[in-house]
Structure 1
Amino acid sequence: MSALKSATEPLAAPSAPVPPPRRKRIRGRPRSPLLAAGWLATRVLMLWLLAHGHYPLLGRGGVAQEVWRLYFHWYGVLRHGAFPSGDHLWQYPPGAGLVLLSPGLLPGLTYFQSFVALTLLTDALITLALVRAGTRPGRSLRGAAVWTAGLPLLLHIPLARYDIQVTAFAVVSLLALTRSTRACGVFAALGALVKVWPALTLIGIPRGRTTREALTAAAVTAVTLLVLLAVLFRSPFDFLRQQGGRGVQVESLGGTVLMLARRAGWPGHTRYQYGAVEFVGPQVHTVALCSLALTAAAFVLLLLWRMRARRWTPATPYDAALAAVLMFTVTSRVISPQYMVWLVGLSAVCLTSRHTTQRPVALLVLVASAVSAVEYPAFYGEVVSGTWAGCAVMLVRNGLLALAAAVSFARLWRSGCSLPRRSEPNAPAWNPCRVPALFPTDNPSPLNR
């Protein structure tokens, strides 16, 4: 009877779906509109600072004149089919000439207006690439947030330099690795031909076929573009002669040592040369050689990590790129404020992955960027004069960068070279070209071979 009764009863109406908790609903909402609003607000602020750059704390117009005076002068030379031969300020690979020629593609605007417009467009493309990478499964939008909020810490400097364009090549190169190793190599080579450092983005690529494909694509791209530029322009390699004559800039780590030595009685002084304020006097050459030796040591450490590394995660190429650029920046004879754009961009790429080991490093980079904005343009006169205030600012900024480089490499080494715990299985090397088996069986899919 009970069975008959249950069979004759009408079916119960389906219950209404239970809404998720409020906290989960908030976290699940798309953050892209919020990032877009933040990007628009901060970039309007940066444009306002650029338009009012004549104020004393904003550099008295010195930031913007890099574009409308120096870049525009080079633009005039490049338009006539030649690189600036014999110009001691021209210290960049020949690919930089194409970037400086690009503002001429926008009609109806001055060179300065076109340059800033293209820089903002490149900035927006970087943000879109980070947002797209952050919305994939297992990824995070923290990278796009770091780029959106971190770049304005440098005030209006990024809009008046072409380092955003260089950073775009490095960011796209790293983010393209999961889809095409050849594209990764191509963009790294293009960036290296504009400024050399994007070549370091290839140092963390997994060993084997992945590395061979990326390096081959990079080499073919670099050689092809160099041959093309050598055919179209005169004196494309004159920059090598000018680059070799650079000394110790006041903003570098070696410059901080000499600045403190001057407070202790060292007889050296500063002079504007090779496009920067550098130290002149006894022992300056020795400090420059020490910087080069430290750069070589950093390169050896990175090669040692690459040979010893046994575990790769999806974030390892990103983490290695940030560690490498940090180490080369800290040991360089020149650390200009716009170099922080590179570090903010690479930190943003690291934070798109939930596997990254560089979260504390990204925080140190952001703090160092904020201090850099105090150092230049606000306190630059104090830095050049070598006052105690200038020494303190440089000591804090370069100390933060040195700490970030040490922490970055230590965490990179620990994640790839340290022995796994007993409870932790030996993970195979991650390969971006191999699709992982989510449900392994005795008969693997052809996709996983």
Structure 2
Amino acid sequence: MRRLATAPVFAPRYRRAAYWWAGSRLLLLLWTLQAVPYFSRGSVVGDVMIYHGWANTMVDGSFPSGDPQWQYPPAAALVMLAPKLIQHLGIGYVNSFFFVALIADAVVFALLLGQADRIAAETGRKPHLSGVWAWVLGGFALGPIVFMRYDVIVTAIAVAGLLWTVRTTGRRSAERAEKRTWAVRGALLGLGAVVKVWPVVLLAGAPGGRRGWRALLSAAAGALAICGILAAAMPGALSFLSHQSSRGIEVEAVFASPFMIASWFGYPIRTVHEDGNFQLAGPGTGMVANLAIVTTLIGFGVVLWWRVRRFHPERWSPALMYDAGFTVLLVMVITSRVLSPQYLIWLVGLAALCLAENGPGRRGTVMAVPARLVMACTLVSQIEFPLLFDQILHHGFLGNALVAGRNIVLLTATLLALRALWSATMAETPAGSGESADTTATREPEPDVQVLAPAGAGSTVTAAATATGGQPTGAGGA
């Protein structure tokens, strides 16, 4: 309890952010519990009712493989079964799910606050809380959907996979703690991958050398182990793959906007409910759905090309890892056949991590502009769903114009992010100089030896920072 009382979240300089988080989440929880009326709550809570049905099926010993709406990796079962544990306390499944989501939201907040505290300790300056505020305000702007989908739980796993550290003790050397840090981070990202796939893309910015390989191998081993255990325990673990392949273009996706606009001028398009989504049917929609998959592969290829051609392990920094993860996640979202409002939860979590690195006295993110563009999309997403969703389904002007505008902003953020990431690191070192002019900032030594504390629970001071007066490495040549 003494350690909890001295945690950063209770420090006077963090109380304002903590009060805003607590107040905003209380209001969101009152909305979700229907203690305070919320417009169209019934349409928002529908997915939790579906989770309940799936959880009952899984309690009986099998995945809901016969339901075409089941399109999730095997470990999603763990998330959907978790409310069953609270349900034994006399709380219904739906309300139990809301409390599990609230805990996940609190974990992200604590991790970001701990990150701000660590950076303040490294730089010797006041805490920079833009990342914390991005999560507090961005989550509130998205509305009750934060607690009515399991995406906030996946985001908590992903953020922990980027920030979690293992403490150095008298029995555990700094080098051994650092090895365990990257093993744990990899395992968490691997867990996230088998809960909802996307956290695995965050490994795009992993450090080079042994640290990166340790994270990658831990992610693969953890994912395979979890999938193997779940497949052995319940049949139908891989049924989601066949259900995913039949998906069409969902009405809110980037690729849907041209069809929606064309429908205003008489293009023969209609909305159908298939595979658990409201998607488009009509001339050209099948071809565009296949094109979306190709575009995703091309976007990933661009990031991979950056990794091969522009990534310099000696100039790696945490900011660069967050920037790369945020960029590849943007690519994944805008090229997806589905762009549900809850996908913004993922982007807000990564945007908050990027902005957390942007404090004074620290070479920070190159994603400040794309991150702010994503933040601007959050309130729009709550307006279009659920308030204007009926208009979207019936190809109304206002709802679809709003979605098209949101998608244009996300597309702009993605292009700016790709450009910023590409130009953040120089292709080669200038001739005659031992290093690039942009690398005059202190480099992080190899290995990254840290005096470690859990990233969300207290301050963390790197050996590199103490040796160089608290000026850590920046994101390449940003």
Report how far residue 420 of structure 1 moved. Answer: 7.4
> Any idea what the Cα deviations from partners look like across 1:215-257, whole Å, max 9, x if unmatched?
1111111111111111211111111111111000010011111
Question: Which residue in 1 is equivalent to 2:42?
Answer: 61
Distance in 1 of aligned mates of 2:340 and 2:200: 19
2:350 paired residue among 334, 346, 349: 346
Identity of counterpart residues, as a percentage? 35
2:105 maps to 123
CA distance in 2, matches of 1:97, 1:146: 30
Point out the structure with max Rg over C-alpha. 1
- Is residue 2:161 matched to residue 1:152? no
Q: Measure, in 1, the Cα distance between the counterparts of 2:80 and 2:192.
A: 14
Match of 2:421 in 1: 412
Q: Which residue of 1 aligns with 2:393?
A: 384
Q: How do 1:95-110 residues align onto structure 2 when only pairs under 5 Å count?
A: 95-106=75-86, 107-110=89-92
- Name the structure 2 match of 1:23: none
Task: Choose the corresponding residue for 2:71, options 82, 86, 91.
Answer: 91
Assess if the C-alpha contact under 8 Å between 2:32 and 2:41 holds in 1: no
Q: Is the 8 A contact 1:184 1:214 kept in 2?
A: yes
1:358 aligns to what?
A: 367
Q: What stretches of structure 2 of length at least 5 have no aligned partner?
A: 1-10, 167-177, 359-363, 431-435, 450-462, 469-478
Per-residue deviation, 1:140 = 3.1
Q: Residues 140, 271 of structure 1: CA spacing in aligned structure 2 closer, same or farther, 3 A cutoff? A: same
**Alpha-carbon distance between aligned partners in 2 of 1:237 and 1:423, rounded to the nearest angstrom:** 50
Taking the TM superposition and a 5 Å limit, the aligned residue runs for 1:10-409 are 30-52=12-34, 58-67=39-48, 69-106=49-86, 107-136=89-118, 137-138=122-123, 140-176=128-164, 179=178, 180-308=181-309, 309-310=311-312, 311-354=315-358, 355-409=364-418
The DSSP-based 3-state class of the residue aligned with 1:279 is strand
Change beyond 3 A, Cα 1:417–1:285: farther
Q: Distance in 2 between matches of 1:430 and 1:203?
A: 21
- Shift in alpha-carbon separation, 1:277–1:135, aligned structure 2, 3 A: same
Paired residue secondary structure (2:128): coil
Task: Name which structure has the greater RCO, CA cutoff 8 Å, separation 6+.
Answer: 2
Distance 1:185 1:323, change over 3 A: same
Residue deviations 1:386-422 (CA, integer Å, cap 9, x gap) = 1221221011110111111111121111112366797
The 2-side partners of 1:270 and 1:432 are apart by 54
In structure 2, C-alpha distance between the alignment counterparts of 1:335 and 1:54, rounded to whole Å: 28
Q: Check the 8 A contact 1:291/1:331 in 2, yes or no.
A: yes
Q: CA deviation at 1:182?
A: 0.8
What amino acid is aligned across from residue 342 of structure 1 in structure 2?
Answer: W
**1:314, distance to aligned residue in structure 2 (A):** 2.7
Name the SS of the counterpart of 1:31 in structure 2.
Answer: helix
- The answer as to whether partners of 1:81 and 1:233 remain within 8 angstroms in 2 is yes
Residue 125 of structure 1 aligns to a residue whose secondary structure is: helix
Give the superposition deviation at 1:43: 0.7
Supply the distance in 1 between the matched residues of 2:447 and 2:367 (Cα, whole angstroms). Answer: 20
1:153/1:373 contact within 8 Å kept = yes
Give the 3 Å change call, closer, same or farther, for CA 124–425 of structure 1 in structure 2.
closer
> Unpaired segments of 5 or more residues in structure 1?
1-28, 441-449
The offset of 1:424, in angstroms, is 3.8
Distance 1:425 1:284, change over 3 A: closer
Normalized against structure 1, the TM-score is what? 0.86
CA spacing shift, 1:418–1:140, aligned 2, 3 Å: farther
1:19 is matched with which residue?
none
- Residue deviations 1:264-297 (CA, integer Å, cap 9, x gap): 2221211011111100111001111221121011
Aligned residue for 1:108, secondary structure, equals coil
Give the aligned partner of residue 436 of structure 1. 464
Cα separation, partners in 2 of 1:424 and 1:243, compared to 1, 3 Å: closer
Paired residue secondary structure (1:129): helix
Letter in 1 for 2:303: L
In the superposition, relative to structure 1, how do residues 156 and 432 fare at CA in structure 2: closer, same or farther (>3 Å)? farther
Query: Does the 8 A contact of 1:210 with 1:431 survive in 2?
Result: no
Seen in structure 2, the aligned counterparts of structure 1 residues 430 and 344 have a Cα distance that, compared at 3 Å, is: farther
Work out whether residues 252 and 332 of structure 1, in 8 Å CA contact, stay in contact via their aligned partners in 2. yes
Equivalent pair of 2:159/2:350 in contact (CA under 8 Å): yes
User: 1:95–1:194: 8 Å Cα contact kept in structure 2?
Assistant: yes
Q: Kindly tell me: are residues 432 and 394 of structure 1, through their superposed partners in 2, closer, same or farther at Cα, counting changes over 3 Å?
A: farther
Relative distance call for 1:260 and 1:432 in structure 2 (3 A) is farther
TM-score by length of 2: 0.81
Aligned residues: 410
Partner deviation per Cα, 1:304-343 (whole Å, 9 max, x = no partner): 1101223423300011111110111001000000000000
Distance across 2 between alignment mates of 1:319 and 1:216: 22
Change (3 A) 1:395 1:39: same
**In structure 2, distance between residues paired with 1:115 and 1:388:** 35
Please report the RMSD computed on the Cα atoms of aligned residues, expressed in angstroms: 2.2
Q: CA deviation at 1:117?
A: 0.8
